[in-house]
């Protein structure tokens, strides 16, 4: 009997766009959840990666005078470098140009073709020459391309279709029996409505698209990149239709699929239908989060609407960015990224509430306590209160209510800061040294709890705190207390 790993995925990011804050947001959410689960001894499999096929990517590469594969190699390296900068720990980085993925996609296509779930037909509809692709009638913006804003042509081409229409009733039943499958709720009810209204079959191949995975039995066609990228969630942990290995069986099904809300339809409708067709278990949860916006518009490099995450990390440190993204914006909703708000939260929340409190307590502890970790102050009302919050914090983390978790942690910091003001420790030091020691024990244990709670969001800060709060473990007796640099120097 093996234990199933908790499988978290980010989308496979298209390398048409360079990595930006929007990608960072989704991937950091996956990392925060993964770190929380690992701290509770749950084995996690976190997959991220890049979607590298399609007409748009081929055009992007050619415009820069590069071969598509060379462009993809460089772009995938950019994504990996950003995850390193942001301190993201993943277990698998899937590229859709990986040979194993491509072979599995080809085999899936043939299997569904043989079963009649994929059939050959004709695609006829609005077509954007800039995208090099068809658009859905109801996805148009004023009758124009939603990406390029250009007028569309009418085009016809032979294409293979996935029989999505057949799966409407099964999807509705699944949504009804698994109310947590799609979240947050507003997006979910929209999908339920779609499934009730009847689903149309979707084209899953392109002709004249040399940059893609060729259909094995009909190599004039390439598997559509949208379809192929979805399959990456299964091929990454090792799925093949011929028989999946032990790794796959200990990972599947996905526990949390994270996606931007724009892909709610493909992740919430097409993907589960495809899994039903393959006889695979459906993911436990598809979570479509809101967008980060700047000046009210979705962050996107191609639209020139972005801040470089690397610049923010250089100026403020990686943990400040990790904190801000989940404190400022409720993860399910859209939220504005502004440097003014960032700067304010850095100074108020991190430098003041956390950093000042921490240095005041640790420097007094170095001066007035002996060098051993004090016993848990079971008689401390404030420590008992804080400790009683842990179950609620865990629930918030596991429901991806990261903002609510951080709010509670800052409430805890508020309690400790309040205590520090009320007890006037410098006066206590003169009048009642024993009372001062008892007070410092409360503060140290309170901060230890907080460091543990902060760890998924701010892993570096949490380990610096934990190192210093384990006083006595790392210091030799008689050594002078070291001057420790502040956690968050004021900016």
Q: Which residues bind Zn ion (CB under 5 A)?
A: 128, 130-131, 145, 147-148
CB of 130 to Zn ion, least distance (A): 4
Nearer residue to Zn ion within complex by CB, 111 or 298: 298
The runs of H, that is alpha helices, within 198-291 are 225-235, 246-251, 264-265, 271-278
Strands 44-51 and 92-95: parallel
CB of 297 to Zn ion, least distance (A): 18
Nearer residue to Zn ion within complex by CB, 128 or 404: 128
Q: Can you give the three-state secondary structure of 66-106, one letter per residue? A: CCHHHHHHHHHHHHHHHHHHCCCCCCEEEECCCHHHHHHHH
CB of 79 to Zn ion, least distance (A): 23
How does DSSP assign 117-148, residue by residue? Answer: SEEEEEEEEEEETTTTEE--GGG-BTTB-TTT
d(CA 211, CA 205): 12
Which residue in 262, 149, 133, 279 sits closest to 202, CA to CA?
Answer: 133
CB of 159 to Zn ion, least distance (A): 18
Provide the 10 A C-beta neighbour count for residue 221. 24
Nearer residue to Zn ion within complex by CB, 66 or 130: 130
Nearer residue to Zn ion within complex by CB, 141 or 344: 141
Question: C-alpha dihedral over 402, 407, 408, 410, to 10 degrees?
Answer: 130
Nearer residue to Zn ion within complex by CB, 128 or 449: 128
CB of 147 to Zn ion, least distance (A): 4
Nearer residue to Zn ion within complex by CB, 128 or 234: 128
How many C-alpha atoms does 274 have within 13 Å on its Cβ side? 26
CB of 243 to Zn ion, least distance (A): 40
């Amino acid at each position: 009997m093996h234990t199933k790993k908790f499988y978290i995925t980010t989308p496979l990011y298209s390398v048409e766009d360079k990595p930006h804050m929007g990608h960072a947001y989704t991937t950091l959410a996956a990392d925060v959840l993964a770190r929380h689960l690992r701290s509770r001894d749950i084995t996690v499999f976190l997959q991220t990666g890049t979607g590298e096929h399609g007409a748009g990517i081929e055009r992007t590469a050619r415009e820069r005078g590069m071969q598509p594969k060379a462009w993809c190699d460089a772009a995938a390296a950019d994504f990996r470098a950003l995850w390193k900068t942001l301190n993201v720990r993943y277990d698998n980085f899937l590229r859709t140009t990986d040979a194993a993925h491509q072979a599995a996609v080809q085999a899936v296509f043939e299997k569904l073709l043989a079963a009649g779930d994929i059939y050959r037909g004709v695609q006829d509809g609005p077509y954007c020459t800039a995208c090099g692709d068809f658009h859905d009638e109801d996805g148009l913006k004023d009758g124009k391309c939603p990406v390029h804003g250009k007028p569309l042509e009418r085009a016809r081409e032979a294409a293979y279709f996935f029989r999505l229409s057949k799966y409407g009733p099964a999807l509705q039943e699944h949504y009804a029996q698994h109310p947590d499958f799609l979240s947050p709720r507003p997006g979910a009810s929209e999908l339920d409505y779609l499934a009730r209204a009847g689903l149309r079959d979707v084209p899953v191949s392109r002709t004249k698209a040399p940059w893609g995975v060729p259909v094995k039995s009909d190599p004039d066609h390439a598997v559509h990149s949208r379809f192929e990228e979805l399959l990456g969630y299964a091929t990454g942990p090792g799925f093949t239709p011929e028989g999946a290995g032990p790794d796959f069986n200990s990972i599947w099904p996905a526990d949390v699929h994270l996606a931007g809300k724009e892909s709610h339809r493909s992740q919430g409708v097409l993907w589960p239908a495809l899994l039903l067709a393959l006889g695979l278990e459906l993911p436990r949860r598809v979570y479509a989060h809101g967008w980060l916006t700047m000046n009210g518009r979705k962050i996107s490099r191609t639209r020139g609407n972005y801040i470089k995450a690397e610049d923010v990390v250089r100026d403020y440190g990686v943990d400040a960015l990790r904190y801000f993204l989940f404190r400022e914006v409720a993860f399910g909703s859209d939220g504005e990224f502004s440097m003014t708000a960032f700067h304010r939260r850095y100074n108020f929340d991190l430098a003041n509430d956390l950093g000042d409190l921490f240095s005041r307590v640790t420097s007094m502890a170095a001066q007035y306590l002996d060098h051993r970790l004090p016993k848990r102050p079971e008689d401390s009302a404030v420590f008992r209160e804080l400790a009683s919050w842990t179950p609620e914090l865990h629930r918030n983390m596991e429901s991806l209510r990261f903002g609510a978790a951080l709010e509670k942690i800052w409430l805890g910091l508020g309690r400790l800061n309040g205590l520090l003001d009320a007890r006037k420790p410098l006066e206590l030091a003169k009048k009642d040294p024993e009372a001062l020691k008892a007070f410092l024990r409360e503060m140290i244990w309170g901060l230890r709890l907080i460091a543990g709670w902060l760890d998924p969001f701010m892993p570096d800060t949490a380990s610096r705190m934990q190192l210093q709060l384990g006083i006595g473990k790392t210091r030799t007796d008689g050594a002078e207390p070291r001057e420790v640099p502040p956690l968050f120097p004021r900016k």
